Amino acid sequence: MRKIYDNQLKFGNVLISDIKFNPKSRDELPKILKGLQHIFVSNSIRKEVFDLLESIVPQNISMRRGRKGMDLWKILVLGVVRLGCNWDYDKLHEMANNHLTLREMLGHESSEWENRNNYELQTIKDNVSLISPAVLEKLNAIVSNAGHNLLGGKKKEKLQGSVDSFVVETNVSFPTDNKLLLDSMRKAIGLIKSLSIELNLNGWRKSKCQIKKLREQSRLISKAKKSRGKDREQKTRAKYAVYVKTCQELILRIEQTQEQINSLSEFSIVSVLKQYLIKTWLEKANTQISQIQRRVFEGLVIPHSEKVFSVFETYTRWISKGKAGVMVELGLPVSIFKDQHGFILAYQIMETESDVDVAVPLTKKAKELYPALLSCSYDKGYWSPANQQALMEIMKNPVLPKKGKLSKNDKERQNSTEFIKCRKKHSAVESSINGLEHSGLDRCPDRGINGFKRYVGLAVLARNIQTLGNLIIEKEKKRAKRKNKKKTA
């Protein structure tokens, strides 16, 4: 059973509409909570948001029967606050149980009570992960429209966009073939030991010592690579030979244990799953051994398409954008579409694409959601003749600088007053990128591609809610200033 929000007030509770914030605070939390308060208080926005939140509940789960789960509004608040304030789950857990204003927004008591409702860490993790990336994109559109409605007038009718991309790093260490092989072997050995204990089989009592031995051999390879002696390559090759031989012997032992397990008559579902996972990790280990043999012993160059940059986050890409002081970034690039008011209208995670591939789809998505969009500026990385033609059909004035030598028509287009004016404002998109990175979007700690997409979606949503809250606070400040002037007049 899940409720969207429990309307039944209890002793010590405060209405969300009555929560007060310090307008002078420079911290991001009051601005985020102010934006969430506006969403909750506005009837039309609240209905749209609640209808979307209801869709995250699985179809086989009843909204009215069964054990009570976390309210959907609380899930949204915790997810947004986590990304908006760049907290990990431990910090979020502590603040959800002890920060009074946050607890008021969650619908709890504003002071100490004997039977206060506290959250468990795992409960927060499990519930925040329920929000899907598709729902987050729709929520983001609702929040952006709410901000445009607050602005009103010409500001709402004439939207100008800016598009740029940045890399969100995955939570992986720098990939070397010996470390990737170590990770694969470590997981395979851990699983076969667990399965052997479950089925009362012998042979893996010293698994910890075997992993320790592999780790030491991997460390010796790294040390040999860094040495400056004349025989460095020869020593490195010798260390690799010992390391690969040890791994192959262990793989053979794992396969023998698997054959022994297959001869047994009874299996549990967990045993079958572990068998499948062991097979997966052995395939990854064999892939790394093959690449080591080709690169180290045969002197071949491994094609970039065959390289693996993480055995855990397999979607990770090797990205070199030529930035000063940053040789390479390991993660996925994300393109954002921002308007002149600071709202991020749309975003695109580029799993395999580059900037030039997403320029048209991203603009189409933004134009469909916000018909008032008149123009947009892009970086040179988004330029291609096909993109220039397609963007001119979508909007009135696409500001897309051309790469390389300019023709006469291109010079006239890029020297026009409107083009130059938009290009001068383009750098404002860096402010949103910096804000997203400050909010935790520099490195994604969540696992899997779905976790990555959810993390990015929550960060964009949190940024827009913070922008919305800041807009409301500034309006309230101006209103209070006018009242003070009237009193003193």
Percentage of the chain modeled with pLDDT above 70 = 97
Q: If pLDDT is split at 50, 70 and 90, which confidence band does 154 have?
A: low
- 322 Rama class: left (phi>0) / alpha (psi -120 to 50) / beta: left
Long-range (24+ apart) CB contacts under 8 A made by 189-198 are 189/250, 189/254, 191/274, 191/277, 191/278, 191/281, 192/254, 192/257, 192/258, 192/278, 194/274, 195/261, 195/271, 195/274, 195/275, 195/278, 196/257, 198/268, 198/270, 198/271, 198/274
Torsion, CA 168, CA 172, CA 178, CA 183, rounded to 10: -140
**Residue-range domains of the chain with CATH:** 16-130 (no CATH), 138-172+315-468 (3.30.420.10), 177-306 (no CATH)
The pLDDT score that the predictor gives to residue 489 is 61
Confidence of residue 110 (pLDDT cuts 50, 70, 90): low
How high is the pLDDT of residue 209? 95
> 455 pLDDT exceeds 70?
yes
pLDDT digits (tens, 9 = 90+) for 36-70: 999 999 999 999 999 999 888 877 777 777 778 88
Predicted pLDDT at 59: 74
pLDDT over 70 (residue 83): yes
**Of 186, 195, 184, the residue nearest 258 (C-alpha):** 195
For residue 58, give every residue at least 6 positions away whose Cβ sits within 8 Å of its Cβ, in sequence order, or none: none
What sign has the CA pseudo-torsion 290, 293, 294, 300? positive
Dist CA 81 CA 85 (whole Å): 6
Confidence of residue 229 (pLDDT cuts 50, 70, 90): confident
Tens-place pLDDT, residues 119-147 = 999 999 999 999 999 999 999 999 999 99
Residue 113 has pLDDT above 60, yes or no: no
Cα atoms found within 13 Å of the Cα of residue 207, Cβ hemisphere only: 20
Read off the pLDDT of each residue in 93-112 and give the average, rounded to a whole number. 85
**With 60 as the cut, is the pLDDT of residue 413 above it?**
yes
CB 312 within 8 A of CB 175: no
List pLDDT tens digits, range 242-270: 999 999 999 999 999 999 888 876 777 88
CB 263 within 8 A of CB 255: no
Name the pLDDT band for 372 (thresholds 50, 70, 90).
confident
Residues 6 or more apart whose Cβ sits within 8 Å of residue 148? 155, 156, 159, 341, 343, 370, 372
Alpha carbons within 13 A on the beta-carbon side of 78? 31
Query: For residue 111, what pLDDT is reported?
Result: 57
Mean pLDDT of the chain: 90
Mean pLDDT value across residues 307-325: 88
The reported pLDDT for the residue numbered 265 is 67
Instruction: Give me the phi and psi of 443, to 5 degrees please.
Output: -150, 130
pLDDT average, residue stretch 470-474? 93
What is the residue type of 219? R
Query: How big is the chain, counted in residues?
Result: 489
pLDDT of 369 over the 70 cut: yes
CB 146 within 8 A of CB 39: yes
In 3D space, the residue among 85, 84, 81 whose CA is nearest the CA of residue 106 turns out to be 81
Position 112 pLDDT exceeds 60: no
Give me the mean pLDDT over the 473-481 stretch: 88
Q: What is the largest CA-CA distance in the chain?
A: 93
d(CA 86, CA 27): 12
User: Tens digit of pLDDT for each residue in 180-199?
Assistant: 999 999 999 999 999 998 88
Residue 329 confidence (pLDDT) above 80: yes
